[in-house]
A and B are shown apart, each in its own frame.
Chain A
Amino acid sequence: MADLAKQTSTTGVPTPPVVEATGITKRFGATVALDDVSLSVASGDVHALVGRNGAGKSTLVSVLTGLNAPDQGSVRFSGQPAPSISDREGWRRSVACVYQKLTTVPALSVAENLFLNRQTETAGPISWKRLNARAEALLAEWELDVDVRTLAGDLTVEQRQMVEIARSLSGGARFIILDEPTARLDAAGIERLFDRVRGLRAQGVTFLFISHHLNEIFELCQQVTVYRDARHIVSAPIADITHSELVTAMTGEKVSAMTDPRPPAPAPAAPILSVAGLTIADVCADVSFEVRPGEVVGLAGAGGSGKFAVAESLVGMRRPDSGTVSIGGVRQKLGSVPAALHAGIGFVPEDRHREGFVGGLSIAENLTMSVPHRLGQHGVLSPRKRTEFAWRSIDTLDVVPRDPEQPAQDLSGGNQQKVVMARALADDPRVLVLMSPTAGVDVKSKQTLMNAATEAARAKSGVLVVTDDLDDLRYCHRVVIMFRGEVVAEVSGNWDDNTVVAAMEGVDLSNG
């Protein structure tokens, strides 16, 4: 680590860094999002910022773009102090960010989006001819080939990114943050984006490039900065760092004092869940794997790997284009949640706020929502049975507050997730599908949640944990790893976390 820890300097280059953030600390309530971090991007570089989820990348972007003021520390652009937070125009001249989310107006033309609220140079009426000509000139200057009269909503993701980059440049910024720009592009689109970035770099534009895919960073960037758990770990020239060093910097040194939390290895048996040839156009292709009774299997992958799409296909939230899902050897009807529940699948959806629970209803009602048949006959629910049922779940998963009548929306994140987990377990599922089951919950709740999952495995359920969280994967007997829609690796027994991370990032460590 020592050779990595050395700070790089722009020796021999007299120009100050395009952006220099020093000693940035940012807290949100009790959470420290950034802990005394720094970042220095030299003029003309493509600088990579990497880190796992929760490392503080997004917070740094919001600080660098002036959307959040840091609690401590300072930001300088080309040696000048950053504008005040209220001076949006000043920030726009210094820095621009191309986000993953849409920042164009779909129903307006490309030309109008490029010059939104600046359609005229003077106060007079808009001349569309003139506006289109200005837009064409701007796109030509940066060699972008998009018809300015197209509606922004009709553009591909790739074209939209180009338009947003051009818009940033027209605002005067020569420092552009690309926030996971490749997440929604195909391989050819990524190549074209990289060519574009290289071309703009040659014209003096500086980039901060955020990506989960390490091979992209090695292909495109000159410098890399790694954050982990809100701290600055290392900054180094790409040439001085290897794949495995980068992965180690991202994951940190492992403290393996913990006992193995896995339930006993399952006896050889026919698979309880088998997935074959699952394909969704542009999302995943030919995904196949099996889970045996009593087995905990991880389905891992970074953003854009398609792991959630696969999981949602299993539970009926999505209808795959082709492929089969069998439970206990019986082929399932796809694309129907009731059918999946009836076949014995219990699941925790990815986005607990949107799909996991009904905030205004009580804990008891949320817990029992999917099991009305256990609460009475002929569609009449017994409140007494519901309360009994809810108490059992509250006890098992240690839900706080211990009050079945409390509205679910008043619970903390960890306890909400317990309610969602309890509901997945409510009908003693034969197959348990957990999507990001511990996202955003504290360490203690994480353990409770994952122990509940392993309990289900001990009771001979098949458990599939769909996540990119290495801690969750420790509970798994096997991990199936996806990258860009395909199963690329599988590990079992005692694996090395770095192998898993490398596979998730699409890196082949044997070549690193």
Chain B
Amino acid sequence: MADTMTTTPRSPVKATQARRITVARLRDLALIPPIIVVAIIGYFVNSNFLTESYLTSLLADMAWIALLVIAESMVLIAGKMDLSLESTVGLAPGVAAWLTLPKGINHGLHLIPGFWAIPLALAVGVVIGAVNAFLIVTLRINAFIVTLGMLITLRGLLTGISHGQTFFGLTGSQMYLGSATILGLPASVWLVIVAFAIGIFALSRLRAGRALYAIGGNTDAAKAAGIRTDRTLALVLVLASVIAAVAGIVESGHLASVASSMGNGKIFDVFAAAVIGGISLNGGKGSLFGAFTGVLLLNMVFAVLNFAGVPSEWFQFLNGAVIVVVLIVQRVVTGQKE
């Protein structure tokens, strides 16, 4: 009893504060238990689910979506949004294929040597990002409507240059990221791992990364602290489009083609993964690690549905329903609104 008597009155306060911080950190790990549960269910549905080769192919299949989630998460944390990423992911490799592929059956123009395919795709990303940044940051038009307009425009552009068909027969450099293997893992999987590692580090340990949280959380406070909010936002929007272009290169290499519908409708999956992973649509909250667990969980759920032999005509319904259910469960369990 004597010991408890000497406790300072302040310690309970400190204890609650410490607990609150732990909760904040745990938010990052919130999806780990469901991921384990889904993995176990997957194993019982089909024992091949947990084999190394299947998990590797799962990661390779989701590589491009994972990259898009990084891009979208950064934009969301800074308090904006970019819907047009789903069109950039098709248009960037599409333009590269259009300009480099031979004429005729491949629908190409053959204007530029194939060596330039990747720089071309990245340049397309820069241009799209710069246009978005000009409209959102300079002209101060709402990001939702701007990027919705860009989504449709860019999709239309890809449909136009491809005549609504598929560029195929990709070669050389454009194939590499989506098809090569390094140290037993697909190059695309390495790319995702490295990209997340860099992203997690930058957003948690670099001033520039923390500036995104400050801008998304309270732009006026960020400005008052000397952060160049407009410039940072513009850079993030350009970077996001460039990452989307890289995602496009990865996926076009993976499929060895660029369909005019590539990426179409995927932005909903990207948003869902980010939000389930703890990124706030209001800006300033969430982590890339959380976003990664979000995209991993969603893709594992779809993989299990696939393994379970769900008819493909029901897949879209289940896709949407799973996301809505996860959002509801998350809202009820954590009590946080996102």
Shortest Cβ distance from B210 into A: residue: A119
Does A150 lie within 8 Å of B21, measured CB to CB? yes
What A residues does B201 contact at CB under 8 A? 125
Does A104 lie within 8 Å of B221, measured CB to CB? yes
What A residues does B24 contact at CB under 8 A? 151
What B residues does A118 contact at CB under 8 A? 225
Shortest Cβ distance from B285 into A: residue: A107
Does A105 lie within 8 Å of B207, measured CB to CB? no
CA distance A147 to B16 in the complex (A): 11
Does A149 lie within 8 Å of B21, measured CB to CB? yes
Q: Does A486 contact B (CB under 8 A)?
A: no
| Known contacts A107-B284, A112-B210, A125-B201; is-contact A102 B227 (Cβ 8 Å) | no
Q: Does B338 contact A (CB under 8 A)?
A: no
Q: Is the interface of B mostly helix, strand, loop or mixed?
A: helix
Shortest Cβ distance from B211 into A: residue: A117
Contact of A125 among B205, B211, B214 (CB under 8 A): B205
Q: Which of A426-468 contact B (CB under 8 A)?
A: none
What B residues does A154 contact at CB under 8 A? 20
Does B206 lie within 8 Å of A106, measured CB to CB? no
Using a Cβ–Cβ cut-off of 8 Å, how many residues does chain B contribute to the interface with A? Answer: 29
Q: Does A397 contact B (CB under 8 A)?
A: no
B237 to chain A, nearest CB (A): 20
B151 to chain A, nearest CB (A): 27
Q: Mark A73-108, 1 if CB is under 8 A from B, else 0.
A: 000000000000000110000000000011111111
Q: Which of B205-234 contact A (CB under 8 A)?
A: 205-207, 210-211, 213-214, 216-218, 220-222, 224-227
Does B226 lie within 8 Å of A105, measured CB to CB? no
Q: Does A116 contact B (CB under 8 A)?
A: yes
CA distance A119 to B209 in the complex (A): 11
Does A105 lie within 8 Å of B222, measured CB to CB? yes
Shortest Cβ distance from B204 into A: residue: A126
Q: Does B17 contact A (CB under 8 A)?
A: yes
Q: Does A120 contact B (CB under 8 A)?
A: yes
Does B21 lie within 8 Å of A117, measured CB to CB? no
| Known contacts A112-B210, A116-B222, A151-B24; is-contact A105 B227 (Cβ 8 Å) | no
| Known contacts A117-B225, A117-B226, A119-B210; is-contact A150 B218 (Cβ 8 Å) | no
B199 to chain A, nearest CB (A): 14
CA distance A125 to B201 in the complex (A): 9
CA distance A162 to B70 in the complex (A): 36
Most B C-beta atoms less than 10 A away, residue of A102, A125, A145: A125
Q: Mark A114-129, 1 if CB is under 8 A from B, else 0.
A: 0011111000011000
Q: Mark A483-505, 1 if CB is under 8 A from B, else 0.
A: 00000000000000000000000
Binding site for B on A (CB under 8 A): 88-89, 101-108, 112-113, 116-120, 125-126, 145, 147, 149-151, 154
> Top 9 nearest A-B pairs by Cβ distance?
A105-B217, A116-B225, A125-B205, A117-B225, A147-B17, A107-B284, A105-B218, A107-B217, A126-B205
Binding site for A on B (CB under 8 A): 10, 14, 17-18, 20-21, 24, 201, 204-207, 210-211, 213-214, 216-218, 220-222, 224-227, 280, 284-285
Can you name 18 A-B pairs with beta carbons within 8 Å? A101-B220, A105-B218, A105-B221, A107-B216, A107-B217, A107-B280, A108-B213, A108-B214, A108-B284, A112-B210, A116-B221, A116-B222, A117-B211, A117-B225, A125-B201, A145-B10, A149-B17, A154-B20
